[in-house]
């Protein structure tokens, strides 16, 4: 009697697998570029602008102030040490400290985020990470929301206060290079999905993220010039000089809307997978917080 | 996969009292009871919740990045320009040089616009290129029918601009000296 049961469950699994594959709709794609060794330096094979923004303290002022060439510095001039003015990111950091101290009165909040002995140094580098208990990959801001809830505080992912706490914690890793391992396990799966999403064409425009950040990179779209997507994930959440504080997922909703695409919920698996993809493309590049963007 | 879905549900953030249409993905920022339907999240200083605003347009009609979204990319359509062009160049200009409508100037330089985009070729002097109206009409309707990898939005296929708007655009471009 045992054998048929196993066989039957195998058959069911096969059907389920087949159905899942068949369900995937046809989508136009922007062809992949070389992502074989994901790191910020990989941009050398994309826009080849890495040489200009690799060392923030060696940025060329002529390039930064040039209307034509500014995009080649990948906005890194908005970060310390090139720009250390007391912008709104610092105000948010102070707010984050205050909230963190309230949340972490017993040390449970930091422990929930994965810190040992309340040591926040390097914690930022552990995200995004796979959580066994949740059986999914999460970003730092998603965990801040979860762990704050356990302390009875609502810090919705993407909200100002959530981002403020993220900046406060992240700044302990300032200068430390991003280094997530996407070569195996759930992070590899997440990276592959994020890569696919980044190149998938959607919305009324039929644009992918890659339409702008690969095909139209360096081109002017009436005053806006898309830059490389390498080295983009070590300065979030960021202070937007027009918009207040913005998390990476909130930025995705902005890019989606600019491209005529319906945005997704903050913290969605899809945005998290794109976050993993972009974080891997920032490997080797140092954390810089608080940061600012135009 | 099941477990993953449960994890997602636990984390999922419901935008206020947002209501979802039954056939749309569950994880888009959308409220069927609002006027424009598509929402965007705005952080508010010293607040632990996001404020959800309406986007200027309902974007849920087209495919999204949601894994639940089963709508395919619409395949390139080959179209025939029937009858006389019957286009109004003045109307065409208003469509082309308007960010909320054709938004052609995002990628193309047009006469009188110092900020014109550089994503596509300039359209200044277009009438001297000698393209037949049918070719220009097809390009705007769906450039992919001419060049499969084209990045220009398929205005006709995706139902962005109605046929008359495209006729007006053709008349406008064919007038550019």
Is B70 part of a structural domain of the chain?
no
Position B5 pLDDT exceeds 50:
no
Asked if residue B164 and residue B94 are part of one domain, the reply reads yes
- Cβ–Cβ < 8 Å for A190, A124: no
Question: B83 — alpha (psi -120 to 50), left (phi > 0) or beta?
Answer: left
Asked if residue B43 and residue B109 are part of one domain, the reply reads no
Of A218, A175, A176, nearest in space to A57 by CA? A175
Question: pLDDT, tens digit, for every residue of B20-67?
Answer: 776 899 999 999 999 999 999 999 999 999 999 999 999 999 999 999
Contact A222 B115 (CB under 8 A): yes
- Nearest chain B residue to A201 by CA distance is B73
Q: Identify the band that residue B1 occupies on the pLDDT scale cut at 50, 70 and 90.
A: very low
Asked if residue B162 and residue B117 are part of one domain, the reply reads yes
Q: In chain A, what are the domain boundaries?
A: 40-83+177-293, 88-173
Question: pLDDT, tens digit, for every residue of A177-205?
Answer: 999 999 999 999 999 999 999 999 999 99
- Nearest chain B residue to A209 by CA distance is B65
Of A148, A274, A129, A130, nearest in space to B3 by CA? A130
Asked if residue B46 and residue B98 are part of one domain, the reply reads no
pLDDT score for A223? 86
Q: Distances in Å between the alpha carbon of A228 and those of A49, A210, A281, A290?
A: 8, 10, 10, 21
pLDDT score for A232? 98
pLDDT score for A110? 98
Closest residue to B45, CB basis, from A27, A244, A265: A244
Average the pLDDT over B77-87 and give the result: 97
pLDDT score for B21? 72
pLDDT score for A22? 55
Q: Distances in Å between the alpha carbon of A7 and those of A4, A68, B168?
A: 5, 65, 63
Is B28 part of a structural domain of the chain?
yes
- Nearest chain A residue to B121 by CA distance is A219
Q: Which residues of A211-239 are buried (b: 16+ CB within 10 A; e: fewer)?
A: bbbbbbbebbbbeebbbbbbbbbbbbbbb
Chain B CB contacts of A162 under 8 Å are 48
What secondary structure, in 3-state letters, does chain A show?
CHHHHHHHHHHHHHHHHHHHHHHCCCCCECCCCCCCCCCHHHHHHCCCCHHHHCCHHHCCHHHHCCCCCHHHHCCHHHCCCCCCCCCHHHHHHHHHHHHHHHHCCCCHHHHHHCCECCECCCHHHHCCEEECCCCEEECHHHHHHHHHHHCCCCCCCCCHHHHHHHHHHHHHHCCCECCCCCCCHHHHHHHHHHHHHHCECECCCCECHHHHHHHCCCCCECCECCCCCCCCCCCCCEEECCCEEECHHHHHHHHHHHCCCCCECCCCHHHHHHHHHHHHCCCCCECCCCCEEC
| CATH number attached to the domain at A88-173 | 1.10.760.10
Question: pLDDT, tens digit, for every residue of A233-248?
Answer: 999 999 998 868 999 9
Domain extent for B133: 89-173
Intrachain domains A40-83+177-293 and A88-173 with the same fold: yes
- Cβ–Cβ < 8 Å for B30, B24: yes
Is B18 part of a structural domain of the chain?
yes
pLDDT score for A164? 98
Contact A267 B160 (CB under 8 A): no
Closest residue to A156, CB basis, from B48, B71, B116: B48
Contact A270 B15 (CB under 8 A): no
pLDDT score for A140? 98
Which stretches of chain A drop beneath a pLDDT of 70?
1-22, 243
Is B44 part of a structural domain of the chain?
yes
Q: Is-above-0.90 flag for pTM? A: yes
> In a 3-state reduction of DSSP, which class is residue B94?
helix
**Number of domains chain B is built from:** 2
Question: pLDDT, tens digit, for every residue of B97-124?
Answer: 999 999 999 999 999 999 999 999 999 9
Question: Which positions ≥6 away from A169 have C-beta within 8 Å?
Answer: A96, A100, A113, A120, A123, A124, A140, A144
- Nearest chain B residue to A200 by CA distance is B65
Helix (H) or strand (E) holding B40, with range, is strand B39-42
Interface with chain A: mutation pick from B1, B13, B43, B70, highest number of A CBs within 10 Å: B43
Chain A CB contacts of B62 under 8 Å are 202-204, 260-262
Asked if residue B100 and residue B34 are part of one domain, the reply reads no
Determine the Cα–Cα distance for residues A197 and A195; give it in Å rounded to an integer: 6
Domain A40-83+177-293 fold is: Cytochrome Bc1 Complex; Chain D, domain 2 (1.10.760)
Asked if residue B93 and residue B47 are part of one domain, the reply reads no
For chain B, the residue count is 177
Asked if residue B162 and residue B107 are part of one domain, the reply reads yes
B34 touching A (Cβ < 8 Å): no
Contact A136 B8 (CB under 8 A): yes
> In a 3-state reduction of DSSP, which class is residue B53?
strand
Is B79 part of a structural domain of the chain?
no
- Cβ–Cβ < 8 Å for A88, A244: yes
């Amino acid at each position: 009697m045992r054998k048929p049961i196993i066989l039957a469950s195998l058959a069911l699994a096969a059907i389920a697998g087949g159905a899942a594959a068949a369900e995937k709709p046809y989508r136009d794609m922007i062809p992949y570029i070389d992502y074989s060794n994901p790191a910020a330096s990989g941009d050398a094979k994309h826009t080849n602008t890495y040489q200009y923004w690799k060392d923030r303290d060696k940025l060329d002022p002529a390039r930064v102030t040039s209307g034509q060439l500014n995009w080649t510095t990948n906005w890194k001039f908005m970060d310390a040490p090139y720009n250390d003015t007391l912008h709104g990111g610092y105000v948010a950091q102070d707010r984050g400290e205050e909230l963190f101290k309230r949340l972490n009165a017993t040390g449970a909040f930091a422990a929930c985020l994965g810190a040992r002995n309340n040591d926040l140094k390097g914690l930022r580098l552990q995200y995004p990470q796979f959580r066994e208990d949740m059986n999914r990959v999460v970003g730092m801001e998603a965990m801040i929301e979860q762990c704050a809830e356990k302390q009875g505080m609502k810090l919705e992912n993407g909200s100002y206060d959530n981002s403020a706490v993220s900046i406060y914690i992240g700044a302990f890793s300032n200068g430390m290079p991003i280094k997530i391992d996407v070569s195996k396990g759930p992070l590899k799966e997440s990276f592959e999905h994020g890569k696919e999403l980044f190149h998938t064409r959607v919305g009324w425009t039929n644009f992918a993220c890659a339409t702008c950040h690969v095909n139209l990179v360096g081109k002017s779209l009436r005053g806006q010039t898309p830059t490389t997507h390498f080295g983009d994930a070590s300065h979030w959440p960021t202070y937007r000089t027009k918009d207040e504080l913005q998390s990476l997922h909130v930025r995705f909703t902005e890019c989606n809307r600019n491209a005529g695409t319906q945005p997704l919920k903050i913290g969605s698996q899809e945005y998290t997978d794109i976050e993993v993809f972009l974080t891997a493309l920032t490997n080797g590049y140092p954390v810089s917080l608080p940061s600012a963007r135009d | 996969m099941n477990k993953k879905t449960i994890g997602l549900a636990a984390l999922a953030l419901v935008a206020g009292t947002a209501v979802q249409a039954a056939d749309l993905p569950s994880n888009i920022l959308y409220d069927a009871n609002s006027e424009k339907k598509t929402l965007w999240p705005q952080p508010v200083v010293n607040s632990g919740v996001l404020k959800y605003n309406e986007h200027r347009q309902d974007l849920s009609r087209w495919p999204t990045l949601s894994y639940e979204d089963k709508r395919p990319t619409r395949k390139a359509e080959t179209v025939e320009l029937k009858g006389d062009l019957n286009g109004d160049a003045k109307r065409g200009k208003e469509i082309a040089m308007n960010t909320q409508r054709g938004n052609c100037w995002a990628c193309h330089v047009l006469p009188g616009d110092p900020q014109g985009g550089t994503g596509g070729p300039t359209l200044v002097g277009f009438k001297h290129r000698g393209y037949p109206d049918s070719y220009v009409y097809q390009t705007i309707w769906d450039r992919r029918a001419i060049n499969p990898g084209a990045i220009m939005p398929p205005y006709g296929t995706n139902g962005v601009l109605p046929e008359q708007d495209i006729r007006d655009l053709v008349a406008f471009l064919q007038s550019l000296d």
